[in-house]
């Protein structure tokens, strides 16, 4: 079953709100990086290094999520939003409400996660290496 126009617009609004939250968080991270005081002892530098590493990892996650959100918004514009990239069947509205940037239906997501696990990888590792972006 495909999404109604009302559901599609509600999900578009949710995606736009999520995108804005990410952009706001990035702005906060940039401002924090600008105002850091670099005076201190060795322990302060170690703490600052750990914080920078955390910020980098957090930033990478935000970048990936932002990319998924942008792709979903493009899909809404193009009319191909809400279809599984694997089997091309509609993704349930309930799943899209929980994760509006979902790429796969529950069945295909589960199958791919099992395949990745059998290879000793996480789904993100496996999918990231097998996807042609």
Per run of 10 residues, the mean pLDDT along the chain (length 133 residues) is 89 96 84 62 60 64 89 94 95 96 95 89 65 46
Note the pLDDT of residue 85. 93
**CA–CA gap between residue 56 and residue 33 (Å, rounded):** 11
* pTM for the whole structure: 0.73
Note the pLDDT of residue 132. 44
Tokens describing residue 85: 């990239």
Other CB atoms within a 10 A radius of the CB of residue 113 amount to 17
Residue-range domains of the chain with CATH = 5-130 (1.20.120.910)
Note the pLDDT of residue 47. 60
């Amino acid at each position: 079953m495909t999404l109604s126009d009302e559901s599609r617009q509600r999900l578009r609004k949710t995606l736009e709100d999520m995108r804005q939250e990410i952009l706001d968080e990035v702005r906060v991270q940039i401002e924090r990086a600008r105002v850091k005081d670099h005076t201190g002892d060795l322990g302060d530098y170690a703490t600052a290094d750990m914080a920078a590493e955390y910020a980098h990892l957090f930033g990478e996650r935000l970048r990936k999520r932002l990319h998924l959100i942008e792709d979903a918004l493009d899909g809404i514009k193009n009319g191909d939003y809400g279809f599984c990239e694997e089997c091309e069947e509609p993704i349930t509205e309930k799943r899209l409400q929980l994760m509006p940037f979902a790429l796969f239906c529950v069945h295909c997501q589960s199958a791919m996660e099992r395949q990745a696990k059998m290879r000793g990888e996480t789904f993100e590792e496996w999918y990231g290496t097998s996807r042609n972006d």
